[in-house]
Structure 1
Amino acid sequence: MNELLGAAAALASLMALTRWAQAAPTRAWGDGAASSLPARQRAWAVAVGTLLLQTATAIVAAGWAAGIALVLAAWMGLGWLLVLAMNQWPQASLRWAQRVGWAGGGVCVVTLVVHGLRLGAAH
């Protein structure tokens, strides 16, 4: 079960990576022009929220050291794969990365709620 939670925590990084790629001046998902300040601020907010969500889930699943290492590796690895996919299949990669990211984030939220309920019942 912990492996599935770790995978969900890793995939949740796609939520923030796609938002960031949409806010940055990219050729694949935009016209190459700089995006607006509010779009970049929303991207930062999503990135920080996603980072906190997936780190908490990864720590619940694997412990402190492994959880933090998992999150860092997910951002690097999935970011690299997303850039490769954006260059080959821009629209399809956007759709699927968002779907997979939100699914991973949803599993993270459910995991943390269940974990919180277990802690509350134990006390």
Structure 2
Amino acid sequence: MGGDTLALACAAAACLLALVRWAQATDTRAWGDAPAGPQAQRKAWGLALATLALQCAAATVATGIAAGVAIAVASWMVLGWGLVLAMNLWPEGCLRWARRIGIAGWAGCALGLLIHALA
């Protein structure tokens, strides 16, 4: 797998961390209907915006502006859809693995941007 392919995979996976936080900040049937409150929702918004910026930056470095933004937006749609399906079928495992994959995606994006900045 080439460096650009890995960077794009990390950029796509990073959205899972923000999607999990967003799901926990809202009332969801799969993870319990306990309201999280406005502070948790603001933090989820902040993480979502930071994730989108990180994804766009990492994917843009790997492919260019148009493809980078398209990858970031498409990952939110596709992985968000998959997360909703998984939440309804396997709520506990989905929470753990989506968070882990999202953290790995964030780390990969940050590392890719750092390598690009140092090169």
Could you tell me how far 1:58 is from its partner in structure 2? 0.4
Q: What's the CA shift for 1:47?
A: 0.4
Give the match for residue 20 of structure 1: 22
2:10 matched residue in structure 1: 8
Equivalent residues in 2 for 1:1-123 (5 A)?
A: 1-30=3-32, 32-118=33-119
C-alpha deviation, 1:15, in angstroms: 0.8
Runs of 4+ in 1 over 3 A off after TM superposition: none
- Percent identity of equivalent pairs: 53
- Whole-angstrom CA distance in 1 between matches of 2:105 and 2:35: 29
Code of the residue aligned with 1:19 in structure 2: it is R
For residues 89 and 98 of structure 2, the distance between their equivalents in structure 1, rounded to whole angstroms, comes to 14
Deviation readout 1:14-39 (Å, 9 max, x if unpaired) = 01000000001001112x24320100
Structure 2 residue runs without a partner (length 5+): none
The residue identity in structure 1 corresponding to 2:4 is N
What are the superposed Cα offsets for residues 34-90 of structure 1, whole Å, 9 maximum, x if unpaired? 320100011001101111111100001111110000011100000000000000000
For the residue of structure 1 that corresponds to 2:31, the secondary structure is: coil
Question: Normalized against structure 2, the TM-score is what?
Answer: 0.95
Q: Which runs of 5+ in 1 are unaligned?
A: 119-123
Bigger CA radius of gyration: 1
Within 2, Cα distance between the matches of 1:110 and 1:35? Answer: 32
CA RMSD of aligned residues (A): 0.8
TM-score calculated relative to the size of structure 1: 0.92
